[in-house]
């Protein structure tokens, strides 16, 4: 990684369980499929040497459980942020602007539609997908190369290196 560049890894929480109608959206846990896919993607992240030096994670239960699949006894600096729960692009950009520059690879674990919209916002090239393909389904991981200064990120400031979905591996 060049000194003037940083990396951003966006990881959408894995599939949640809708079985208990008494739970709020924030309290919903991972489903069985979600646990399997979170494990699969956690292994993929590690195998591809994409371990971050800072993790920003939504406080929603499904996001926290996704994080624990990757980092059960996390020694990586981690911030659990209520502001990431269902955050829109301006909120996500404000949070990224606060990340100190000494963190070179940052992972953000959050939710759609904000995460998918952030991918479209940051990506240098427009994304084209087949009509039947979801851009950023649950448990998907997007890896970006970014400029070093995140205080005022603009549309097209990132370069999407990979977008990996659980069904891809």
Report the pLDDT value the prediction gives residue 74, as an integer from 0 to 100: 74
Helices marked H in 48-162: 61-70, 89-97, 114-122
**Over residues 21-30, mean pLDDT:** 93
Closest residue by Cα to residue 30 from 83, 78, 69 = 69
Q: For the domain that residue 105 is a member of, what is the CATH number?
A: 3.40.50.1240
**Number of domains composing the chain:** 1
Q: Is the pLDDT of residue 82 over 50?
A: yes
Distance of CA 83 to the CA centre of its chain: 14
Residues 168, 5, 94, 161: what is their CA dihedral angle, to the nearest 10 degrees? -20
For the segment 117-134, what is each residue's pLDDT rounded down to a tens digit?
999 999 987 776 555 667
pTM for this model (two decimals): 0.92
Distance of CA 25 to the CA centre of its chain: 18
* Residue pointed to by tokens 């994304």: 127
Structural domain including 156 reads: 5-16+25-168
Report the pLDDT value the prediction gives residue 2, as an integer from 0 to 100: 44
């Amino acid at each position: 990684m060049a000194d003037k560049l940083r990396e951003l890894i966006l990881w959408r929480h894995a599939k949640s369980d809708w079985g208990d109608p008494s739970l709020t959206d924030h309290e919903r846990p991972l489903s069985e499929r979600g646990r399997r896919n979170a494990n699969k993607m956690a292994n993929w992240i590690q195998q591809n040497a994409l371990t971050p030096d800072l993790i920003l994670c939504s406080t929603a239960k499904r996001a926290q459980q996704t994080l624990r699949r990757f980092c059960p006894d996390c020694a990586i600096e981690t911030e659990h942020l209520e502001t990431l729960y269902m955050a829109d692009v301006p909120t996500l950009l404000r949070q990224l602007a606060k990340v100190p520059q000494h963190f070179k690879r940052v992972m953000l674990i959050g939710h759609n539609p904000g995460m998918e919209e952030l991918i479209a916002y940051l990506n240098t090239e427009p994304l084209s997908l087949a009509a039947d393909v979801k851009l950023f389904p649950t448990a998907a991981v997007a890896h970006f190369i970014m400029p070093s200064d995140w205080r005022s990120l603009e549309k097209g400031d990132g370069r999407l290196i990979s977008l990996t979905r659980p069904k891809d591996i």
